């Protein structure tokens, strides 16, 4: 199995479509991608993975605004950038990359893996980008809390297909 197939497998287990209401309270993914799309994200900017015993335990994707404009949900988020302000400047005034999707296997959540994934992303992308921007379903309170814990701030909300999302952003600081 390639890394991208392993990412798809972890994604599918944690998809909003695959989880019970109770399981969704522990976090979920709003969109699904193919192995080819994950590979394209990696080629575009980065896919960071956490591996244990040859199994993918977590992943964090990052890609450019241009890459994301071909997908309806992130495109809708990008359209709100002039209204979303970080340190009183709209996101359109910053060099930003889009972070996400991000997923951590339920068996290893709460162990600081999200922080490590973002630290690695910042190491590879901080020279080109000032901010990492992510959208999270408003019902995904665990993910919102986890992103706040790694230093991201909620900037604004937007709607897509009758669901509400928050836009969060954090400064890229290489460590």
pTM, entire model: 0.92
* Model pLDDT for residues 114-163, shown as the tens digit of each residue: 999 999 999 999 999 999 999 999 999 999 999 999 999 999 999 999 99
CATH number of the domain that 38 lies in?
3.40.630.30
Give all strands of the β-sheet with 163-171 in edge-to-edge order. Answer: 46-52, 55-63, 96-104, 131-137, 163-171, 153-160
Q: CA-CA distances (angstroms) from residue 39 to 9, 24, 108?
A: 14, 27, 24
Q: What is the pLDDT of residues 35-77, one digit of tens each?
A: 999 999 999 999 999 998 888 999 999 999 999 999 999 999 9
Q: The domain containing residue 53 runs over which residues?
A: 3-171
Provide the domain count of the chain.
1
Note the pLDDT tens digit of each residue in 73-110.
999 999 999 999 999 999 999 999 999 999 999 999 99
> What pLDDT is recorded for position 2?
62
């Amino acid at each position: 199995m390639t890394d991208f197939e392993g990412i798809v497998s972890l994604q599918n287990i944690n998809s909003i479509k695959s989880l019970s209401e109770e399981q969704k309270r522990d976090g979920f993914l709003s969109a699904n991608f193919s192995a080819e799309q994950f590979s394209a994200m990696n080629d575009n900017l980065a896919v960071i993975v956490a591996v244990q015993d040859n199994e993918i335990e977590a992943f964090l994707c990052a890609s450019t605004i241009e890459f994301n404009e071909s997908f309806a949900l992130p495109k809708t988020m990008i359209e709100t950038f002039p209204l979303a302000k970080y340190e009183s400047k709209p996101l359109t005034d910053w060099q930003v990359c889009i972070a996400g999707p991000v997923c951590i296997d339920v068996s290893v959540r709460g162990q600081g893996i999200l922080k490590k994934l973002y630290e690695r992303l910042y190491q590879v992308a901080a020279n080109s980008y000032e901010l990492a921007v992510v959208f999270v379903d408003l019902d995904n309170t665990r993910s919102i809390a986890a992103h706040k814990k790694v230093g991201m701030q909620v900037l604004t909300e937007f709607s897509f297909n009758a669901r509400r999302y928050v836009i969060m952003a954090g400064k890229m600081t290489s460590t």
